[in-house]
Structure 1
Amino acid sequence: MLNKENIRVVQLIDSLDIGGAERMAVTIANVLTDKISFSGLVCTRKEGDLKGTINSSVNYTFLNKRKSIDIKALFKFRNYIIVNNVNCIHAHGSSYFFAVLTKFILPSVKIIWHDHLGNRVSQKESNWFLRFFSLFFSGVLVVNEELEKWAIQNLKTSNISFLSNFYNTKQNEVNQTFLEGEKDKRIVCLANLKTPKNHLYILKSFLASDLSNKGWTLHFIGKDFRDEYSEILKLYIENNKIEDSVYLYGSCLDVGHILSQAKYGVLASTYEGFPVTLLEYGFANLTVLSTSVGFCSKVIIPNVNGYLFNPNEDNALMSLFKALPNSESKNKEMATNLNTFVHQNYTAVKVVEQLLNYYQKWL
């Protein structure tokens, strides 16, 4: 077992686009800098907007990997580990593949794999590769209980633990995004424009609730991939003439500033692991309308600290939207309850101590 001061860990991630796994990799690297002797972050394939959120005290490197097995990138990472005396690769999501390749040429390094994928259980055909590679993991961290159960049943390591996501409130932001509409009638959705995030369902529910005719506005914050999914959303907005009520902002880094301008936060994904978005909503004191999938139902207690709905029920979200204007006192109370709950359970201080204990136990 290592002492904390001897733990030298690099977070490994395939891209720095804004996403759940990517955000947690950066957040963990940032908060560990003053708690262990070395905190690094290595991006293998693609840099992105999150690069600007990496603390200067984090030892960051980009490998510029061009193909699945990139020998140049592999030996660059091997050299990084040797030079910085790294004893653990904390591999997030799909980066486990590159981490194991590295272990083949540097057997002494340990691998902790961190699974963030909410629909892992349903991906039966692609998991055989992961099962084999798990032979080389020293441990596995998962973000919800369903993933923990799956990992125990399927992976070739016994060192499996649940580690909740957390939100680091100590972040430097440049306020540059300003929302349209009235603050008390703004609903924000933090989610990249992609299939599981269910934006069209939110749009249909918003339109059916008639809130757009009462001065309410809907704000989508997340990367626009300019694909068919995105075009369907834009066409729906145009065809239903709600351009003055629905706004798309693309990727934004000033999340705290954005949420301070809103009163409600919605998340309607058809699957999730543990969305940091709910924690961000809670810290911003928003009234939350959340999907019931993944770990969401462990954070949101219906009618106590938020609203919970089944994203596969056609009118579930519409009914909640419709009731919002008549429930101001209740909404305010639930927002306060959620704010208290996330401060008590999902701050960096609480979760990072658990992570450090895990490192110590298995390194």
Structure 2
Amino acid sequence: MRILQLIDSLDAGGAERMAVNYANALAGVISFSGLVTTRKEGDLKGQLKAQVSYLFLNKKRSFDLKALFVLKSYVVENQVSVVHAHSSSFFLAFLLKLVHPSVRVLWHDHYGESEFLNLRPTFILRLSLPFFEGVISVNQKLKQWVEQKMHFKNTIYLANFATKENGIKRNTVLKGEVGKRIVCLANLRSQKNHLLLLEVAKILRVLHPEWTFHLVGKDFEDAYSAEIKKLIVEYGLKDRVFIYGSKNDVENIVQQAAICVLTSKSEGLPVALLEYGRGKKAVVVTAVGEIPEVVQNGENGFVVPQNAELFCAALVKLIENEPLRDDFGAALYQAILNSYSEEKIIKQYLKWLQQHSK
């Protein structure tokens, strides 16, 4: 089998990480594994294994004929049989199918606003999905949505998986006191609800002032980012909450945390949560998307509503009980190994592809 991953950028986001993870994982088990990024290269390019064939299209607009035919030539030259399009790259995969009908195209739906699917635009999806052979969803809500709303039948839920970083230097050193750091891996988007995290930090500053919060993820320097920075000052948190931007050395960052958190108001299956589990970290997370399927409240972490007081109370339980942190971290690690390993997901993926080969 010869499979190509298609992604619009290689910035450090969840869909982008999964495109890289699939390309790397498949490189050792199929005859050809490639990755094409359409619009923008980024930090994740450095994590591609040497065995993965790579192409950057430098696409300039939604309908870019030059990029389309460069992609077609690459697919033909490398005898690609399956194009696995992640997130918004589905439209280019649709155009490729029109000019190269023999290629099989799949769409991997990483839509992060799965709690608000009623607001999702559907016109272009309705136009293009009939040309796709299958749809992969990162949580059950997305799978049900594409089946019921889009009337698409060949769909599968495949969990995200985290992998060991490939050739990344451990450069990032977190501020704050060792053993008293709380890490949040999330790009600065409103969906990730950092504003709730700041409310939590404001409460915790009174209860445990020595503990600090560390926000790692792409800063888009937009209005949402400006609001976060303004509230950090207004809440008196300049020496308690630190923003680092996008970083490659995620494993290194997670290892420096005592507790890891997600305050999202909507999610698919966050890769960050899998990274926390691989690092054996205790977590406090909100009950959105597929998160409650991974974290069993009170067994391998705390799952709480989007409420600052309740979130803070769960944090305090972990802060004041180091053995509980260790137990939760070990239990979450085992859950990730059992259900969200690279080997298990890739085996399910290839079996699904073979079963539905036309």
TM over 0.5: yes
**1:362 alignment partner in structure 2:** 356
What secondary structure sits across from 2:175 in the alignment? coil
CA distance in 2, matches of 1:316, 1:95: 39
Larger CA deviation: 115-124 vs 54-63: 115-124
1:138 matches 2:133: yes
**1:272 alignment partner in structure 2:** 267
**1:331-350 matched pairs, under 5 angstroms:** 331-350=325-344
**1:36-185 matched pairs, under 5 angstroms:** 36-120=30-114, 122-124=117-119, 126-169=121-164, 171-185=166-180
* Native 8 Å contact 1:200 1:233 kept in 2: yes
**1:317-332 matched pairs, under 5 angstroms:** 317-332=311-326
Deviations 1:212-255 (A, max 9, x none): 75310110001111111111111111223222211111110001
CA distance in 2, matches of 1:211, 1:127: 46
Q: Of residues 23, 29, 32 in structure 1, which corresponds to 2:26? A: 32
* Native 8 Å contact 2:197 2:308 kept in 1: no
Is the alpha carbon distance of 1:178 and 1:314 closer, same or farther for their aligned partners in structure 2, counting shifts above 3 Å?
A: closer
Is the alpha carbon distance of 1:185 and 1:157 closer, same or farther for their aligned partners in structure 2, counting shifts above 3 Å?
A: same
* Native 8 Å contact 2:113 2:191 kept in 1: no
CA distance in 2, matches of 1:307, 1:145: 21
Q: Which sections of structure 2, spanning at least 5 residues, go unmatched?
A: none
Deviations 1:117-167 (A, max 9, x none): 132552546113212211001111111111111111133532111101111
CA distance in 2, matches of 1:211, 1:331: 21
CA distance in 1, matches of 2:279, 2:236: 30
What secondary structure sits across from 2:8 in the alignment? strand
**1:207-226 matched pairs, under 5 angstroms:** 207-210=202-205, 214-226=209-221
CA distance in 1, matches of 2:230, 2:164: 37
For normalisation by structure 2, the TM-score amounts to 0.96
**1:295 alignment partner in structure 2:** 290
Q: Which sections of structure 1, spanning at least 5 residues, go unmatched?
A: 1-6
The aligned amino acid for 2:145 is W
Q: Could you say what the CA RMSD is over the residues aligned between the two structures, in angstroms?
A: 1.5
Q: How much does 1:282 deviate? A: 0.7
Larger CA deviation: 81-90 vs 167-176: 167-176
The aligned amino acid for 1:118 is G
CA distance in 1, matches of 2:123, 2:319: 49
* Native 8 Å contact 2:7 2:86 kept in 1: yes
Is the alpha carbon distance of 1:213 and 1:318 closer, same or farther for their aligned partners in structure 2, counting shifts above 3 Å?
A: closer
Q: How much does 1:46 deviate? A: 1.3
What secondary structure sits across from 1:329 in the alignment? helix
Larger CA deviation: 339-348 vs 89-98: 339-348
Larger CA deviation: 247-256 vs 316-325: 316-325
For normalisation by structure 1, the TM-score amounts to 0.94
CA distance in 2, matches of 1:124, 1:186: 37
Deviations 1:141-199 (A, max 9, x none): 11111111111113353211110111112532201000112232110000011110111
What secondary structure sits across from 1:192 in the alignment? coil
* Native 8 Å contact 1:211 1:322 kept in 2: no
What secondary structure sits across from 1:164 in the alignment? coil
Q: Of residues 198, 202, 206 in structure 1, which corresponds to 2:197? A: 202
CA distance in 1, matches of 2:143, 2:120: 19
CA distance in 1, matches of 2:317, 2:29: 46
CA distance in 2, matches of 1:208, 1:185: 16
Counting aligned pairs with the same residue, the percent is 42
1:306 matches 2:308: no
Count of residues paired in the alignment: 356
Q: How much does 1:314 deviate? A: 4.1
* Native 8 Å contact 1:210 1:322 kept in 2: no
Deviations 1:56-78 (A, max 9, x none): 21111011111111010000000
CA distance in 2, matches of 1:354, 1:223: 31
Q: How much does 1:345 deviate? A: 1.6
CA distance in 2, matches of 1:253, 1:317: 28
Is the alpha carbon distance of 1:261 and 1:321 closer, same or farther for their aligned partners in structure 2, counting shifts above 3 Å?
A: same
CA distance in 2, matches of 1:78, 1:69: 14
Is the alpha carbon distance of 1:288 and 1:166 closer, same or farther for their aligned partners in structure 2, counting shifts above 3 Å?
A: same
* Native 8 Å contact 2:318 2:324 kept in 1: no
1:236 matches 2:231: yes
* Native 8 Å contact 1:266 1:290 kept in 2: yes
